[in-house]
């Protein structure tokens, strides 16, 4: 799915070109191994090792997953308005699950509701992203410094598979997959704080930073995107090394660099 090849509908909103009309794919056809699109229940102070998340078969969940991927890949362009009925026709479903998925994205700041037209993909300026990065740094860095002083070696070993998932997605050039793997890594780190609300707030901030800034993903050569993602993914393992060594100076330096880089945008 690339570009906008469809014509605008009578309400001025664009359909989403490239979505086949044969209906929503079964859950099994969605990419396997990605973290669940919504935060799961809190199971205790430490994250369990990554596991294949249970597949959700609801139409809304499938559409939400597809829309998240399209936003992360830049296939839904910032500033464009998309009609729920037109998207529903492309998916081969009723407009209701599309509207529900779009409302979820609106609550995350990814789209904005346009009365009587549909949903506009939010534009995030460089200033918006810098401000969000600053808020994330204020939230996450104190947690990481505290964990560096009191964390146990086995905690960092449990997070290695999360870091490996980001490297694998980056190596594939899978921007959407990387965004979800990066989100899972940071949520696992914050979960170690033992504060459920902090982990939820951190996850919401991460969601708001995801997606293209300005134009579509096609404005950046694919090789450049892959190199950027690989560099960001490598920072996860570097951060775990610093945490395991209880090197608080390195933890703070690496965390500030990683968060200012956007981590998954």
What DSSP assignment string belongs to 103-149? Answer: HHHHHTTSEEEETTTEEEEPP--HHHHHHHHHHHHHHHHHHHHHHHH
Residue 59's φ and ψ, nearest 5 degrees, are: -60, -40
The pLDDT score that the predictor gives to residue 14 is: 53
Token couple for 178:
């990387």
Place of tokens 């081969």: 92
CA-based nearest residue to 22, from 110, 91, 103, 68: 91
Token couple for 76:
């839904």
The pLDDT score that the predictor gives to residue 241 is: 96
Sign of CA dihedral 136, 142, 143, 148: positive
Along the 265 residues of the chain, how does pLDDT read in single tens digits? Answer: 433 434 445 445 555 444 444 344 433 333 333 344 343 444 444 444 444 433 444 888 889 988 888 888 778 888 999 999 988 888 888 899 999 999 999 988 889 999 989 999 988 888 888 999 999 999 999 999 999 998 788 889 999 999 999 999 999 988 888 988 999 999 999 999 999 999 999 998 988 887 654 433 333 334 446 678 899 999 999 999 999 999 999 999 999 999 986 444 4
pTM of the predicted model as reported, rounded to 2 decimal places: 0.67
CB 36 within 8 A of CB 104: no
The pLDDT score that the predictor gives to residue 226 is: 67
**Beta pairing partners, 120:** 81, 112
CB 46 within 8 A of CB 192: yes
Distance (Å, whole) CA 46 – CA 194:
7
Place of tokens 């200012």: 260
């Amino acid at each position: 799915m690339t570009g906008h090849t469809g014509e605008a509908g009578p309400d001025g909103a664009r359909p989403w070109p490239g979505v086949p009309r044969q209906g929503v794919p079964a859950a099994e056809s969605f990419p396997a191994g990605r973290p669940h699109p919504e935060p799961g229940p809190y199971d205790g102070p430490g994250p369990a090792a990554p596991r294949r998340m249970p597949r959700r078969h609801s139409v809304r969940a499938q559409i939400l997953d597809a829309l998240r991927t399209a936003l992360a890949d830049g296939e839904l362009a910032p500033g464009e308005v998309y009609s729920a009925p037109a998207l529903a026709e492309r998916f081969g479903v009723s407009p209701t699950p599309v509207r529900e998925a779009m409302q979820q994205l609106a609550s995350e700041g990814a789209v904005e509701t346009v009365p009587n037209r549909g949903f506009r993909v939010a534009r995030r300026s460089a200033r918006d992203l810098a401000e969000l990065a600053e808020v994330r740094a204020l939230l996450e860095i104190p947690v990481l410094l505290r964990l560096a002083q009191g964390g146990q070696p086995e905690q960092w070993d449990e997070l290695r598979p999360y870091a490996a998932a980001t490297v694998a997605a980056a190596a594939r050039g899978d921007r959407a997959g990387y965004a979800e793997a990066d989100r899972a890594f940071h949520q696992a780190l914050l979960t170690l704080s033992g504060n459920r609300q902090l982990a939820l707030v951190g996850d919401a901030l991460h969601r708001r930073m995801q997606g293209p800034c300005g134009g579509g993903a096609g404005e950046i050569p694919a090789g450049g995107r892959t190199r950027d993602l690989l560099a960001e993914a490598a920072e996860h393992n570097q951060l775990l090394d610093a945490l395991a060594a209880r090197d608080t100076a390195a933890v703070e330096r690496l965390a500030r660099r990683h968060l200012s880089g956007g981590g998954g945008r």
